[in-house]
Structure 1
Amino acid sequence: MSTTQSHTPTGLAALEQRLEHDLLTLNWRARAWVAPRSHAGQPVHDVLIIGAGQAGLAASMALAQQGIAAVLLDRAARDLEGPWATTARMETLRSPKELTGPALGLPSLTFRAWFEAQWGDAAWEALDKIPRLQWMDYLRWYRRVTQADVRNGHAVTAVRPRGDGQVEVDVSVSGAPGTTWLARRVVLATGRDGLGGPQIPAFMQGVERSRWAHSSDMLDYERLRGLRVGVIGVGSSAMDSAGTALECGAASVDLIARRSEMPRINKSKGSGVPGLTQGHADLPDAWKWRIRHYINAQQVPPPQGSTLRVSRHPNAFFHFDCAVQSVRAQGAGLQVATTQGVFAFDFLILATGFEINWARKPEFAAFAGQVRTWGQRYQPPLGDEDRELSDSPDLGPVFEFQPTAPGACPGLERIHCFCYPAALSHGTVSGDIPAISDGARRLATGLASLFYRDDVEHHFATLQAYAEPELTGEEWTPAHTPSRVLPGTGPHTTTPGAATHPQENT
């Protein structure tokens, strides 16, 4: 006999009431304890988080548990934070629906609770993968119920660490001239391309920008109707772009891969155990590099559903062992020379991933050249070289940047990298759904420790000045002790065998 009960939808209002009670019983929004600061009459924020996607929201909620206030700055309009409703084109998430994502251990904050409250558990059982736009709807709800302090239309144009315990952040609001905010700590929750941007191969140099796009670009795929489209790459973003182009009426889509065959096994999935999630940061350098490089080299295959989304079209063509050698304009189209021959396209999409490239993040120019990288920290064995890993920042235990030399950039350690490039130092806990809560807790508890250490004199003075009595002195009556002890055993009684002095008997 099944023990599973069937539940009908209770609605979001009931779920939100339950969540509020959970937060109350857990004392989640802890009392504020960080000493407020100001500078020249201007408030100094405890934490500014740049980016209000799922990483920024999770970090904000984890900080709230520690009694630390955070303000999130996002250049996007409300409800369009992150890639989900803008540049992402997958039909569903790759992650299994059971993963709890940014819920931070709160059952009533999970996607599953949000889903079942609206559609019931039968619909949950029938659900295969989470639709992309539905995940965005969940994050919008998450933002509201966690009361995240998000400022939309706030674009960060410069971040400048200082040696006096503060970081300057220039912020442009809705395109208006910027103002300078001050913060004690700044968290970069800036996503997959958090320290760079799309990786553009050298063979694209000189090709007119209107003839091609990167898979992460904002692109109206309807403009590809009737066109011959080439896609460089066969990873997830390649499939998403190819599938979207085909569904929008592209005449043909050719996917071009330099690999001899499609990767088939998701090695990163095989590494997803709590031991690595919690222990990656403590591994020796050689093991950190070895694990991350192996996953990079094996490459992550596209999801099966995404691949079938493309291959079901008769005008989709997969080409392997087909390295691109050059791309040049030919009339209104492009000629793409490869090791297998020359292709003719009307439009080209580069699904070539992202790179760490500080030059593409001018807002970080004030400190970019001072950040210590893994290339400066570790020399891998011959044959294990990896540009992505070498360029990754060498982060401290609280995701903080470290300078190339001690004292080289005062205040740099007050900027924390909570985005994908943290993976080599901390593991994949700062962006991907599976372990985002683990990373957010690590960040929040680490920041709580740093705030206390910074203000330890203030907190000790507060401790000394604390004078709220637990007792008034009226809770007891002092006893007449001599009447309660054995005769001859009081404090003025002579110990047997000891010398007697006249004053003792006075």
Structure 2
Amino acid sequence: MTSFTPFFDAAGLVALEQRLQHDLLLLNWYAQPWINPRRYADASVTDVLIIGAGQAGLAAHMALAQQGIRSVLLDRAPLDYEGPWATTARMETLRSPKELTGPALGVPALTFRAWFEAQWGLQAWEALDKIPRLQWMDYLRWYRRVTQADVRNEHTVTAIRPRSDGLVEVDVQACGQTTVWFARRVVLATGRDGLGGPQIPAFMQGVERSRWAHSSDVLDYEALQGQRVGVIGMGSSAMDSAGTALECGAASVDLIARRTEMPRINKSKGSGLPGLTHGHHHLPDAWKWRIRHYINAQQVPPPHGSTLRVSRHPNAYFHFGCAVQHVSNVGNGLHVTTSQGVFAFDFLVLATGFAIDWAQKPEFSAFAPHVRTWGMRYQPPAGDEDQELTDSPDLGPVFEFREATPGHCPGLERIHCFCYPAALSHGTVSGDIPAISDGARRLATGLASLFYREDVEYYFANLQAYADPELHGDEWSPAHTASRVLPGTAYTQSCASVLNTSP
């Protein structure tokens, strides 16, 4: 990991913040609020309630602010620990190139680079390879502060109920009590596992829970010192978990993969074109499926640095072509039976990814059975079956859920899926760093359109009632026209009257 400590300039950060606020002023970023205010049960209704205050939620808030739409963000995490970066993520650096502007929404002073250079300078930026993970978290903390996001931390959403009266009812637990919020629109900015959670293979049934963890779990890796650790998987999270375990003193780490060789090419990186970013949503169904399935099937290799982080340890072992068949408790350890033999471990880490699994999100149970999925929309060609894509929600143009059976869940379209499972419908614009600003703009402009269309009578009445005069009547004097035209050419009102009534 690149070291950078030539200097730290707090004054430089203050100057950047002043520049940012001036830039936002020049852009008239914080537009005047215009949404027709609503009240229900003697309480105000939130225009847009965003669930999640990670990078997607923050970008959505900032894009909405530019449209004059107020939002409130709810996050169950304590202040400054939103998202995975300072909790469950274990990579040393981000996988994205440092030049990507992420949630900056086209504002130069809001980019990571501007934030970095203001404190450590251009020379340190040029020496930086990739962005350290915890430093990205520090940047997001700064982003939240300077964009004045209204985040309510330690607010856990326990239920979301769409209604037929134009509102969404949300139960929120905070400070030991549950309150009910009402919003006109709810945005789920809930991350990689936004509609589910860890994917746990069937072979883990009956295995003692204290002997294994998913790579996304909160885990004290120091407790693995001196232990034989197995890691199921060979992707990015597998390398991150293996590297962390080795650095914490694990006796050995065996990485086990079903695939016969390590993928070498990151196909998703090759798809990062503006045309696809903006055009994926408009592609025919067959092409959407074909592109996403191809990337899934090719599999994304772990980053170069993450792989070296593991392989530099002599007690790290890479095993390919080892399909796991069974895992059993044996004494104080585990036996992992594979197609190539049995491994003995003290602890097992599952780097098996995430699944769209509504059962893992009980707070969505009121509407989950009514969501239309791609499995209901499209039948792929034989050989292109893909469970992740089949389970993906079939979203509308503003990331809104659609009903599986029209009329069975009124108001479902008021919940917007701005998290990873939107990828098949919209492309990767709702979670990953490269196109998060594009997705946030699409969401914000779409919501502005929906708000206006829904209350068009209100806005037309305001248009009719608008009476702010541009002129007061004393800016000119009427001329004596007859004195300004050629003699004998005056076209009098009486002549006009005769001509208009002639047969």
Using the size of structure 1 for normalisation, the TM-score is: 0.96
Q: Deviations over 1:423-473 (max 9, x none)?
A: 000000000000000000000000000000111011001001111111110
- Pair 1:391 & 2:391 matched: yes
Partner SS, residue 45 of structure 2: strand
State the one-letter code of the partner of 2:397: P
- Pair 1:252 & 2:252 matched: yes
Tell me how far apart the structure 2 counterparts of residues 76 and 479 of structure 1 sit (CA, whole Å).
72
**1:138-149, aligned counterparts within 5 Å?**
138-149=139-150
- 2:4 equivalent in structure 1: none
**Shift of residue 281, structure 1, vs aligned partner:** 0.2
Tell me how far apart the structure 2 counterparts of residues 18 and 52 of structure 1 sit (CA, whole Å).
25
**1:359-370, aligned counterparts within 5 Å?**
359-370=359-370
**Shift of residue 40, structure 1, vs aligned partner:** 1.6
- Pair 1:99 & 2:100 matched: yes
- 1:235 equivalent in structure 2: 235
Tell me how far apart the structure 2 counterparts of residues 124 and 494 of structure 1 sit (CA, whole Å).
82
Partner SS, residue 11 of structure 1: helix
Partner SS, residue 197 of structure 2: strand
Partner SS, residue 24 of structure 1: helix
Partner SS, residue 213 of structure 1: strand
**Shift of residue 490, structure 1, vs aligned partner:** 1.4
**Shift of residue 408, structure 1, vs aligned partner:** 1.6
Partner SS, residue 366 of structure 1: coil
Contact 1:161/1:167 (8 A) holds in 2: yes
- 1:206 equivalent in structure 2: 206
**Shift of residue 494, structure 1, vs aligned partner:** 9.4
**1:31-50, aligned counterparts within 5 Å?**
31-50=32-51
**Shift of residue 8, structure 1, vs aligned partner:** 10
Regions of 4+ moved over 2 Å:
7-10, 491-495
Tell me how far apart the structure 2 counterparts of residues 171 and 490 of structure 1 sit (CA, whole Å).
77
- 1:402 equivalent in structure 2: 402
Residue identity over aligned pairs, in percent, reads 81
Structure 2: unaligned runs, 5 residues or longer = 1-6
State the one-letter code of the partner of 2:206: G
Partner SS, residue 409 of structure 1: coil
Contact 1:196/1:358 (8 A) holds in 2: yes
State the one-letter code of the partner of 1:42: A
**Shift of residue 188, structure 1, vs aligned partner:** 0.1
**Shift of residue 347, structure 1, vs aligned partner:** 0.2
State the one-letter code of the partner of 2:272: G
Tell me how far apart the structure 1 counterparts of residues 354 and 112 of structure 2 sit (CA, whole Å).
28
- 1:221 equivalent in structure 2: 221
- 2:285 equivalent in structure 1: 285
Tell me how far apart the structure 1 counterparts of residues 490 and 50 of structure 2 sit (CA, whole Å).
67
Contact 1:229/1:347 (8 A) holds in 2: yes
**Shift of residue 491, structure 1, vs aligned partner:** 2.2
**Shift of residue 492, structure 1, vs aligned partner:** 2.4
- Pair 1:438 & 2:451 matched: no
- 1:413 equivalent in structure 2: 413
**Shift of residue 394, structure 1, vs aligned partner:** 0.0
- Pair 1:151 & 2:152 matched: yes
**1:26-175, aligned counterparts within 5 Å?**
26-174=27-175
Q: Deviations over 1:174-211 (max 9, x none)?
A: 4x121100000000000000000000000000101100
Q: Deviations over 1:142-198 (max 9, x none)?
A: 000000000000000000000000000000004x12110000000000000000000
Tell me how far apart the structure 2 counterparts of residues 215 and 493 of structure 1 sit (CA, whole Å).
88
State the one-letter code of the partner of 1:246: L
**Shift of residue 29, structure 1, vs aligned partner:** 0.3
Q: Deviations over 1:290-317 (max 9, x none)?
A: 0000000000000000000000000000
Give the paired residue count.
494
Structure 1: unaligned runs, 5 residues or longer = 1-6, 502-506
**1:307-326, aligned counterparts within 5 Å?**
307-326=307-326
The root-mean-square deviation of aligned C-alpha atoms, in Å, is 1.8
Contact 1:8/1:121 (8 A) holds in 2: no
